[in-house]
């Protein structure tokens, strides 16, 4: 599988910790903002969605996929990754503790399904999933999301 969504080192970050889930979303989406994939309104909408619907973006143990509706400010298709050493809670529940955030930028419903399917395919492979959670370098994450 090729990395069809152009993940590169500028879209990957590692942090020891963040103070809040809101900060985690902002930080995870910052490379998308910097790369002009999204505008600030899109990031605000990501946070508003979690405030409105709860921690629905926690899609697997330790993994969240922040995203918003395309019309809130998505400009091009892509994703960025934030890996945290210390998990951040999207609720008090143990199943909402997150270490890996994959922020999505989807310009329409079709691209949303394509990128979601790609990320789920990567993370449903047990070896790649564990590798992503254990990764300590951008190169390791690029490899996991590019094969």
Catalytic residue among 67, 83, 112, 138: 67
Contact 69, 107 (CB under 8 A): no
Count of structural domains, the chain: 1
Residue 2 confidence (pLDDT) above 90: no
Asked whether residue 134 is domain-assigned, the answer is yes
Asked whether residue 1 is domain-assigned, the answer is no
Q: For the chain, what is the mean pLDDT?
A: 93
Cα R_g (the chain), whole angstroms: 14
Asked whether residue 42 is domain-assigned, the answer is yes
Nearest Cα to Cα of residue 145 among 90, 87, 100, 94: 100
* pLDDT at res. 4: 59
For helices 126-134 and 109-123, angle between their N-to-C axes, nearest 10 degrees: 90
Residue 119 confidence (pLDDT) above 50: yes
Asked whether residue 113 is domain-assigned, the answer is yes
pTM above 0.75, yes or no: yes
The residue to which tokens 């490899």 are assigned: 143
Asked whether residue 5 is domain-assigned, the answer is no
- Which domain range does residue 116 map to? 10-144
Asked whether residue 94 is domain-assigned, the answer is yes
Residues 74-104 have pLDDT tens digits of: 999 999 999 999 999 999 999 999 999 999 9
3-state secondary structure of 137: coil
Q: How many angstroms separate the CA atoms of 93 and 73, rounded?
A: 31
The residue to which tokens 């990754």 are assigned: 81
Nearest Cα to Cα of residue 79 among 7, 146, 144: 7
Q: Which two tokens stand for residue 37?
A: 């994939």
Asked whether residue 2 is domain-assigned, the answer is no
Q: How many angstroms separate the CA atoms of 98 and 91, rounded?
A: 10
Let me know if 96 is a catalytic residue.
no
Here the CATH number for the domain that contains residue 25 is 3.40.930.10
Listed range (27-41, 79-93, 100-114, 125-139) with the worst mean pLDDT: 100-114
Asked whether residue 3 is domain-assigned, the answer is no
């Amino acid at each position: 599988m090729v990395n069809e969504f152009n993940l590169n080192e500028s879209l990957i970050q590692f942090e020891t910790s963040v103070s809040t889930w809101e900060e985690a979303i902002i930080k995870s989406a910052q490379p998308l903002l910097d790369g002009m994939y999204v505008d600030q309104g899109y990031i605000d909408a990501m946070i508003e969605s979690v405030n409105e619907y709860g921690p629905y973006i926690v899609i697997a143990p330790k993994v969240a996929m922040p995203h918003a509706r395309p019309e809130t400010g998505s400009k091009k298709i892509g994703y960025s990754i934030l890996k945290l050493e210390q998990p951040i809670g999207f609720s008090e529940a143990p199943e909402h503790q997150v270490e890996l955030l994959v922020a999505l930028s989807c310009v329409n419903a079709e691209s949303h399904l394509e990128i979601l399917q790609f990320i789920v395919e990567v993370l449903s492979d047990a070896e790649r999933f564990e590798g992503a959670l254990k990764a300590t370098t951008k190169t390791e994450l690029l490899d996991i999301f590019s094969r």
